[in-house]
């Protein structure tokens, strides 16, 4: 009686063959193509199991609908038919319960995956920001390098001796790179200028000595002139007597 009530209590729409054909068309081959495409794309074992269970649920639903639609709407169903309907319905409910559990697990895994993805995205954003900072620092350093290369250095205006002459005088620098060679030429120019400065100081001291000696001689001559004038003045009375 329970099985008969179960069968007879279904909605009247299930007795419509037109409705059964519509449901069968809904579960037709295009969905199979979507499932095949999903199997090609999805590699996660849990999601694959959910797809397999969904496929079995769909097939069981179609089988149950076909079984119900095979029963004539004018004649009452037999007890064996109702028993078969009950078994197929229980199997469908089992698949639906499995599908709900798999859907719940997939939902939890998706939530966990989203959290991990958000965390990974934050790390990627952090690394991207660091990369942008490095690019900014690189551009800044490149600008500084260009400024240094285009800077009008004073050493370029120094009257350094030609490279050929320098290497002829100092052959030990023949294997130096351009930077070391330039530094050596500047050091040589500095040493030469120190020598010239020392010579200049010596000549300046000599000049100061000569100036002092000339001044002394001028003073001596001036004193001699005064003494001579005094002598002449003192000799004037004698000159008058002699006249």
| Structure confidence at residue 25 (pLDDT) | 44
Residue 208 CA to residue 165 CA, distance in Å, equals 36
- Residue that is last in its domain, among 116, 151, 186: 151
Return the closest-CA partner of residue 51 out of 37, 62, 66, 61.
37
pLDDT of residue 20: 43
Written as one string, the DSSP assignment of 51-67 is: HHHHHHHHHHHHHHHHH
Q: Is the dihedral of CA 78, 79, 82, 87 positive or negative?
A: negative
CB count within 10 Å of CB 50 equals 20
pLDDT for the residue 148: 85
Q: Which of 151, 172, 196 is the last residue of a domain?
A: 151
Structure tokens of 75?
């004649």
Q: What is the DSSP letter of 9?
A: T
The burial of 213, by beta-carbon neighbours within 10 Å (0-12 exposed, 13-18 middle, 19 or more buried), is given as exposed
Kindly state whether residues 133 and 60 are assigned to the same domain.
yes
Kindly state the tokens that stand for 121: 């995205």
Answer yes or no: do 145 and 65 share one domain.
yes
Q: Mark whether 59 and 144 lie in a shared domain.
A: yes
Is there a domain that residue 12 lies in? no
Kindly report whether the global pTM for this prediction surpasses the value 0.85: no
Instruction: Examine residue 204 and state whether it is found in any structural domain, yes or no.
Output: yes
Reduce the secondary structure of 163-176 to three states and give it as a string. Answer: HHHHHHHCHHHCCC
Q: Extract the tokens encoding 117.
A: 């993805």
Mind listing the pLDDT tens digit for each residue in 170-179? 888 888 898 8
- pLDDT, tens digit, 9 for 90 and up, residues 190-241: 898 999 999 999 999 999 999 988 988 888 888 887 777 777 777 777 767 7
- Alpha-carbon radius of gyration of the chain: 58
56 in the same domain as 125: yes
Q: How many domains does the chain have?
A: 2
- Specify whether the CB–CB gap between 88 and 64 falls below 8 A: yes
- C-beta of residue 92 within 8 angstroms of C-beta of residue 47: no
| Domain enclosing residue 211, as ranges | 163-240
Indicate whether 30 belongs to any domain. no
Whether residues 147 and 87 share a domain: the answer is: yes
Same domain, 130 and 223: no
Which of the listed residues 126, 151, 176 is the one where a domain comes to its end?
151
Structure tokens at 108: 């939890």
Q: What are the average pLDDT values for consecutive 10-residue runs of the chain, which has 243 residues? A: 36 41 46 56 80 87 85 76 86 90 89 93 96 96 90 78 88 88 89 91 92 87 79 73 68
223 near 230, Cβ under 8 Å?
no
> Cα separation of 234 and 242, whole Å?
14
Instruction: Clarify whether residues 139 and 167 are in a common domain.
Output: no
């Amino acid at each position: 009686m329970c099985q008969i009530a179960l069968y007879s209590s279904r909605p009247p729409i299930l007795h419509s063959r037109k409705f059964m054909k519509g449901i069968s068309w809904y579960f037709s081959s295009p969905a199979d193509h979507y499932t095949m495409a999903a199997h090609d794309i999805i590699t996660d074992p849990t999601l694959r199991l959910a797809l397999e269970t969904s496929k079995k649920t769909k097939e069981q639903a179609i089988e149950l609908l076909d079984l119900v639609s095979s029963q004539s709407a004018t004649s009452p169903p037999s007890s064996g038919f109702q028993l078969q309907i009950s078994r197929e319905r229980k199997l469908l409910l089992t698949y639906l319960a499995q599908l709900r559990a798999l859907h719940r697990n997939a939902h939890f895994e998706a939530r966990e995956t989203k959290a991990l993805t958000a965390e990974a995205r934050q790390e990627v954003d952090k690394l991207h920001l660091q990369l942008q900072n490095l690019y900014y620092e690189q551009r800044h350093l490149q600008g500084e390098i260009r400024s240094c290369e285009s800077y009008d250095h004073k050493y370029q205006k120094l009257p350094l001796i030609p490279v050929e002459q320098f290497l002829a005088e100092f052959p030990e620098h023949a294997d130096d790179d351009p930077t070391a060679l330039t530094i050596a030429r500047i050091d040589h120019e500095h040493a030469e200028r120190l020598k010239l400065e020392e010579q200049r100081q010596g000549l300046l001291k000599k000049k100061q000595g000569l100036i002092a000696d000339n001044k002394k001689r001028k003073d001596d001559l001036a004193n001699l002139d005064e003494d001579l004038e005094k002598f002449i003045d003192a000799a004037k009375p004698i000159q008058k007597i002699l006249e």
